[in-house]
Amino acid sequence: MSTQIRPAPVRKNIFVDASQDHAFEIFTSGMGVWWPKSHKLSEAELDAQIIEPKEGGRWYQRNLDGSECEIGSVAAWEPPARVLLIWQLNAQWTFDPDLKTEVEVRFAPEGSGTRVELEHRNLERLGDSAEGFREAIDSSGGWGALLKLFAEEAAR
Amino acid sequence: MANASRVFAALHDPTRRAVLERLRDGPRPVNEIARGLPVTRPAVSQHLKILKEAGLVSDRSEGTRRIYYVDPKGLGAMRAWLDQFWDSALSAFAAEVERASKEEKK
């Protein structure tokens, strides 16, 4: 389809003053601690966010009321250098078993610490669900409202 | 600007915001986008390239012309949102690594 847009992957990297092992450990086992609390998947209070430490493992949130919310799965488990996660949350922030986007995280020793590189890719697969997302953030006057938001953020 | 996302960086430039604004009403070729803007056509092409890399616009061929349009499905917005999400998530991750390291040294 010639009109399909293919967004570039989201790429981030950050340096942490810790060993490769430690960085990997905190990223995976400690995810529940650092994951932004505003991004829970349920109304219930979040208890833990769990990445099962094996290929094919689940990636999910457990709530205090005992309910669980899937996020995706583990496609590759290579401590302490790399983990490949499958992100199956759509633009409405709900689990969609048919949607698969990849989040690859690499940990490389650098100087006294570790460089952590993250890539979230296959974003074009968010396609149809993103339409509603656009409407949601579009509500206060169209694309211009979004631009204004960006401009303010960029100017900070 | 080291931590600013690519999208924020793309939109930081007022000319690029003007370029994007001109696509709000529908797809347009470069010469129409450039008309009335105080920059040269090659400069507009360069701005479009950056907007495209950020996932905010896309293009297609129509004969010998390239037509630019704002992503119709809102993927650019979704991408921008995820970009921002991972920024804050990784900052929180780094803060936790630091906190845990200090704890160990105690």
- Does B89 reside within a domain? yes
Q: What is the mean pLDDT of residues A29-41?
A: 76
Which residues 64-103 of B are in CB contact (within 8 Å) with A? 69-98, 100-101
Q: Which residue has the tokens 């656009």?
A: A134
| Distances from the Cα of A62 to the Cα of A40, A42, A67, A71, angstroms | 10, 9, 6, 11
Q: Where does B1-106 have alpha helices with state H?
A: 6-12, 14-22, 30-34, 41-53, 75-105
- Does B1 reside within a domain? no
A3 and B60 in contact by Cβ < 8 A? yes
C-alpha R_g of chain A: 17
A86-119 per-position pLDDT tens digit: 999 887 678 899 999 999 999 999 999 999 999 9
- Does B28 reside within a domain? yes
**pLDDT reported for residue A135:** 56
Q: Higher pLDDT residue, A36 or A120?
A: A120
**pLDDT reported for residue A39:** 62
Round to whole Å and give the CA distance between B93 and A27. Answer: 7
The residue in chain B having the minimum alpha-carbon distance to the alpha carbon of residue A116 is B90
Instruction: Reduce the DSSP state of residue A18 to 3 states and report it.
Output: coil
pTM value > 0.90: no
Q: Where in chain A is the domain with CATH 3.30.530.20?
A: 10-121
**Phi, psi dihedrals of residue A105, rounded to the nearest 5°:** -125, 125
| Cβ-nearest to A126 among B53, B75, B80 | B75
- Determine contact, residues A82/A94, Cβ cutoff 8 Å: no
Round to whole Å and give the CA distance between A86 and A101. Answer: 6
Q: CB distance from A64 to chain B under 8 Å? A: no
Residue pairs between chains A and B whose CB atoms are closer than 8 Å: 144
ipTM: 0.76
One DSSP character per residue, A5-65 reads --PPPEEEEEEESS-HHHHHHHHHTTHHHHS-GGG-SSSSPEEEEEE-SSTT-EEEEEETT
**pLDDT reported for residue A141:** 40
**pLDDT reported for residue A124:** 81
Look at chain B and report how many structural domains it folds into.
1
Round to whole Å and give the CA distance between A81 and A117. Answer: 10
The CATH number for B64's domain is 1.10.10.10
Distance of CA A107 to the CA centre of its chain: 16
Round to whole Å and give the CA distance between B18 and B20. Answer: 5
Instruction: State how beta strands A68-78 and A82-87 pair.
Output: antiparallel
Q: Which residues from chain A sit within 8 angstroms of residue B88, using beta carbons?
A: 36
- Does B71 reside within a domain? yes
Domain housing B83: 6-105
A38-93 per-position pLDDT tens digit: 666 667 787 888 999 999 999 999 988 989 999 999 999 999 999 999 999 887 67
B55 and A133 in contact by Cβ < 8 A? no
Confidence of residue A33 (pLDDT cuts 50, 70, 90): confident
Closest CA to A65 of A47, A92, A88, A91: A47
Q: Which residues from chain B sit within 8 angstroms of residue A118, using beta carbons?
A: 86, 90
Closest CA to B56 of B29, B76, B30: B76
- Does B36 reside within a domain? yes
Q: CB distance from B31 to chain A under 8 Å? A: no
Token pair for B73: 């499905």
DSSP A99: -
Amino acid A151 reads: A
- Does B64 reside within a domain? yes
| Cβ-nearest to A128 among B73, B76, B81 | B73
DSSP B74: S
The residue in chain B having the minimum alpha-carbon distance to the alpha carbon of residue A31 is B93
B30-89 per-position pLDDT tens digit: 999 999 899 999 999 999 998 887 777 888 888 888 999 887 666 777 777 788 788 888
CATH number of the structural domain A10-121: 3.30.530.20
| Distances from the Cα of B71 to the Cα of A4, A10, A12, A89, A108, angstroms | 8, 17, 23, 20, 35
